[in-house]
Amino acid sequence: MDSGFDLSFRHHHLLGIEGLQPYEIGHVLDLADSYVELNRQPSKKRALLDGLTQINLFFEVSTRTLTSFELAGKRLGADVVNMAVQGSSIKKGETLIDTAMTLNAMQPDVLVVRHQESGAVQLLARHVRCAVINAGDGSHEHPTQALLDALTIRRRKGRLEGLTVAICGDLRHSRVARSNILLLLAMGASVRLIGPPTLLPRAFESYGCQLFTDMAKGLRGCDIVMMLRLQNERMQGSFVPSVREYFHLYGLTQEKLRHAAPDALIMHPGPMNRGVEIDGVIADDIDRSAILDQVEMGVAVRMACLDLLTRSIRGEAS
């Protein structure tokens, strides 16, 4: 597929949004746009990655991300292997590096890695020769999620620059929030973060975000409302008094949504907890909710990332 780019994407790995230039983000989104069109055709296969091997190494559970990386690789013609690594008794550091070296010896071309520890994917990338894509590391980054969110917004709103995006909920433990903040600010959007004080790190102010503990104030006039799940698996102790109270104060309801712009788009990376961070009726509102668009964009964005990161192996300019 000809992307028509004159500028290159010169990264060997995709470990985070941090370090990407706005034009590189634009590259990925433009290329992903063309894959959205391909994915809507009855015949979705391309032989671009023919002969290449992609290993999806997931130390943490996943539904959307794993499936979409598998589909993305297969649609581009790669041999795709899924490895779910769970419940190992070996020490984490040793397991990770040993696993990296073992997989490296099998000569893969791309490793897609999810790990529960922040920084683990970067560590692994130092021990392998192939391209590594971070599919989520602890509460650090989830770059392809931010890219697919950006593609969703760009297709629905026509731009990213100048929009006001509210990200609401468990900001403290969310890798989705961190990658989105970096991407949205780089692309010229304004970012508001809304959540209970216990889940809203003040450090985000220094990134250039505005912080709110009150949904009505934070949502006022915003164009995009991005809801986050409470990341209970990363919490030690209790950060909210009760789920009922959390929903009352921070769950997205029709009433709270009235504070946002009349055409505000609702987003959620999934998995969604109806009645906790979002009212089910709003999530299913096909005019307002872009949640299923996000899933569709996920496959296209991951195809674009696989395409760009394997261009040097395939002898193509990026």
Q: Which residue ranges make up the site for ligand ASP (CB under 6 A)?
A: 136, 142, 175-176, 229, 269-270
Q: What is the helix (H) or strand (E) element at residue 215, kind and residue range?
A: helix 215-219
> Nearest to residue 60, comparing CAs of 306, 302, 231?
231
CB 198 within 8 A of CB 245: no
Residue 167 CB, nearest distance to ligand ASP (Å)? 12
Task: Indicate the residue among 58 and 204 with the shorter CB distance to ligand ASP.
Answer: 58
Task: Indicate the residue among 75 and 268 with the shorter CB distance to ligand ASP.
Answer: 268
Task: Indicate the residue among 142 and 172 with the shorter CB distance to ligand ASP.
Answer: 142
Residue 228 CB, nearest distance to ligand ASP (Å)? 6
Angle between helices 175-186 and 143-157 (to 10 degrees): 50
* DSSP, res 264: P
Task: Indicate the residue among 104 and 273 with the shorter CB distance to ligand ASP.
Answer: 273
Residue number, nearest CB to ligand ASP:
229
Q: In what order do the strands lie in the sheet with 164-168?
A: 210-212, 190-194, 164-168, 224-227, 265-267
Task: Indicate the residue among 73 and 169 with the shorter CB distance to ligand ASP.
Answer: 169
Residue 205 CB, nearest distance to ligand ASP (Å)? 23
Residue 311 CB, nearest distance to ligand ASP (Å)? 27
CA 178, chain centre distance (Å): 10
Residue 176 CB, nearest distance to ligand ASP (Å)? 5
Q: How many CB atoms lie within 10 A of CB 121?
A: 30
Task: Indicate the residue among 1 and 295 with the shorter CB distance to ligand ASP.
Answer: 295
CB 276 within 8 A of CB 246: yes
Residue 175 CB, nearest distance to ligand ASP (Å)? 5
* CA-based radius of gyration for the chain: 19
